[in-house]
């Protein structure tokens, strides 16, 4: 009696029902775990995300504006040099 064909048909049906229920529970558990993994991926993260905003003007335009302010006497030569250095440093990152 190694084959299931000699087993009582009622027992065979119950075994098949158990297999189907076990499969359904396994698939449901897998779906729940996958869903939890996808929804919790961002929770509790300690990674710091830095968002850099793209400049609204180009570096060249800012340098031109800075030079114009210096040429009109709005800022001193020392202030012009400091601002120029700061602009070049901030945009090189």
Domains of the chain by residue range: 4-39, 59-91
Where does the pLDDT of residue 5 fall: very low under 50, low under 70, confident under 90, or very high at 90 and above?
low
- Report residue 68's pLDDT band, with 50, 70 and 90 as the boundaries: very high
More confident residue, 40 or 68: 68
> Which of the four pLDDT bands, split at 50, 70 and 90, describes residue 91?
confident
Q: Is the pLDDT of residue 6 over 80?
A: no
First-to-final CA distance of the chain? 77
Which tokens sit at 91?
A: 């945009």
CA distance 9 to 25: 24
* pTM for this prediction: 0.41
For residue 10, the tally of other CB atoms under 10 A from its CB is 8
C-alpha 24/C-alpha 86 separation (Å) is: 64
Gap between the Cα atoms of 11 and 8, Å rounded: 5
């Amino acid at each position: 009696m190694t084959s299931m064909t000699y087993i009582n048909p009622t027992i065979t049906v119950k075994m098949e029902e158990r297999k189907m229920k076990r499969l359904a529970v396994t698939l449901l558990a897998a779906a729940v775990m996958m869903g939890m993994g996808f929804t919790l991926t961002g929770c509790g993260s300690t990674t710091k995300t830095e968002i850099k905003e793209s400049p609204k003007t180009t570096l060249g335009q800012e340098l031109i504006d800075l030079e114009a302010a210096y040429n009109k006497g709005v800022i001193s030569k020392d202030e012009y040099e400091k601002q120029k250095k700061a602009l070049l440093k901030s945009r090189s990152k």
